Amino acid sequence: MGGPEPHQRPAPPAASPTAPSPTAPSPTATTAVVACAADGVAFSATSQDEEGKSVRHLLLTVTNTGNKRCHLYQYPYLKFAGARSPIAVIKDSEDAPVTLAPGEKAYAALLATGGRMDTYDTDILPLSLQGPDPGSKASEPLNIDLPGQVPFDDGARVTYWTTASGLALRFIMTS
């Protein structure tokens, strides 16, 4: 049928082809923060008592010596060989997980005596890191050197981990 072709509008120009942009990795895929591991942290224990006095108040310090951020959960799990139970936590102390960047520190305060029964003298503190669930362990016990012989008894108490040493000590220095 001879006649003119119907008029068609030209298609809009196609967008110039571009290479697909790389998908940014999801924050949880590559930057998930894991529990601090014993081989990525260093510990110390220092007396908070006056020089010459019996050591009763201790500040436990953990430093992230690794190259990635990590979480500290709960509180230091402290249980001496032969003890019936671990050292109890001070329930009123902070209990949020602490995230440590490389080089950062966290603290827990430890009251060594308070019950006057079942006294045990030692210069080593067996400390395990906990996982996200209360009572779960993220490490085997590590032996932390204490500042000399320290008497412990059934009244010993520890705080949750925190990034402020003063906050941790507040819970034990009045005892």
pTM of model > 0.85: no
Q: What is the pLDDT of residues 79-119, one digit of tens each?
A: 998 888 999 999 999 778 899 999 999 999 999 998 778 88
Sorted by where each begins, the domain ranges of the chain are 32-170
Cβ neighbours of 42 (radius 10 Å): 13
* Residues contacting residue 169 through CB under 8 Å, at least 6 positions apart: 48, 57, 59, 107, 109
Residue 142: pLDDT over 60? yes
